[in-house]
Amino acid sequence: MGPAGPPHRRATILHVDLDAFFAAVEQRDRPELRGKPVIVGGGGPDDRGVVSTASYEARRFGVRSAMPLRTAGRLCPQGIFLPVDGAKYQAESRRVMTILRRFTSRVEQVSIDEAFLDVAGSEALFGSPEEIARRIKSAIHDETGLTASVGVATSKLVAKIGSDLRKPDGLVVVPAGEEAAFLAPLPVSRLWGVGPATSSALAELGVRTIGDLAATPPDALERRFGRHGAELIDRARGIDGDPVHEPDAVKTVGHEHTFDRDTSDPEELERTLLGLSDGVAWRLRGMGRRAGTVVVKVRDSAFRTVTRQAPLAEPTDLAEPIFQAALRLARPEMRGKRIRLLGVTGTHLDEPDQLGLFGAEEDRRHRAMEAADALKRKYGDRAVIRARLLDRGLPAPFERDPSSPLARRGVDETLDEPERVTREREPDAEAGDLDG
């Protein structure tokens, strides 16, 4: 008798994943790029930073997300490198999430280009879960010109694995009761929580496929992995009881900037902190939130990364107090070093008071900022720029969503600590396909 599958439930969980999202948006908007290897993440193979998205044409050369741009350039010399256009991708993401919410209110967005849905209760209106998946794919293609891959299963885990298997433009349905058989031939690295270290440890036990894992005696896994061993057995059998739910409210707002060349120029470093603080403040005002704590991230030319945080005198959504706090925190860490990356994050967010409760001076600042924000919303985020930032080549910081479970890294992992120092190195191989 085979291993037990998940408790009986219907296959009503969908995972929708946009295919090579950033690159697909660029190829849609620029027909001359269609069918060509497009690499989004910088202006060229000599730029600092990593690949955000590679088109499927570029992936044939081995280019992957999170790979250094220089490595991508060596693998794909004919690649077309484009900078990240965060505002455009965020706008497209919102269009897609609006489409998903037509089919069910139970939508859990986990990153800019993917979401889980629970369509139980939607069948009377839209048909079976498979039919709903087809309708979603058609609506996304017809209304945005993009393609999405969808997995349908009884759990988020299996739906996610299904959506990854037949990209691009795929649809995989795993009926209830067939989860273990579906997973069995796949490598164990497909499972959540199985990274390179765990894969290596499992290989020492003779476990290479998910089927091998499901057949492994539980006591052997518990001796090697403790309580995590029991979780691995469940996942190998397709058991995942995590429901689809709206994610928690955003708890942090942050921006980062990687310099084209390491720099120790105080003016350039301060100007960058100001630009990052400006971006954080703008997003806070758009959310109707204020930050009570500022966190800075400093990475030097030796890839030594330091994060520091400090509370503000009072919560704010204005750039100047955020900038001043960031500058105080960053200065000691920048002194005498060549800096590779800077980041500014606002955390411990609260709801704003009514405008009338502000002091007169802050009231005037808010009115000025609201006028500037209105111009930015109408004419783009470059419509109003501080004089100190004009013609300095500082790109608009790309919005990151630290609340997403697929994006928690860097400064987001340190917010509960007064300070932390970590060492990081630039990856030289695939770090996971983060973008479909």
| Residues acting as catalytic residues | 114
CA contacts within 13 A on the Cβ side of 146: 27
On whether the CB atoms of residues 146 and 138 are closer than 8 A, the answer is: no
124 Cβ contact list (under 8 Å, min separation 6)? none
On whether the CB atoms of residues 293 and 322 are closer than 8 A, the answer is: no
345 Cβ contact list (under 8 Å, min separation 6)? 252, 253, 254, 255, 280, 294, 295, 296, 297, 402, 411, 412, 415
d(CA 276, CA 315): 18
d(CA 172, CA 187): 18
Closest CA to 217 of 209, 205, 235, 200: 205
- Respond yes or no on whether the N-terminal peptide bond of residue 31 is cis (omega within 30° of 0): no
Closest CA to 86 of 372, 319, 396, 412: 396
